Amino acid sequence: MTRKYIDCREYPSEMNCSVALAADSENELLEAAVQHATTVHKHADSPELRTQLKAMFHDGTPPTDAPRHA
């Protein structure tokens, strides 16, 4: 089983969110990411949001340093 993560630092926003979430299962990560997106970023929970979040998942663990942006 490969650990998965999602990192808000990859998607700059006005709030400069620095949260990264990781979990052992995609389902667990998705539920945590949805909770974060709806609570902190005020997105509506929808099938589209869940699809977008899943597309942002990476294998492994988040890097210590913030990702570089183009």
At 24-48, the pLDDT tens digits run 999 999 999 999 999 999 999 999 9
Report the distance separating Cα 33 and Cα 36, nearest Å.
5
Mean of pLDDT over the chain? 91
Nearest to 33 by CA among 11, 53, 59: 53
| Residue 58, beta-bridge partner list | 5
Query: What percentage of the chain carries pLDDT values higher than 70?
Result: 93
Could you give phi then psi for residue 38, rounded to 5 degrees? -80, -40
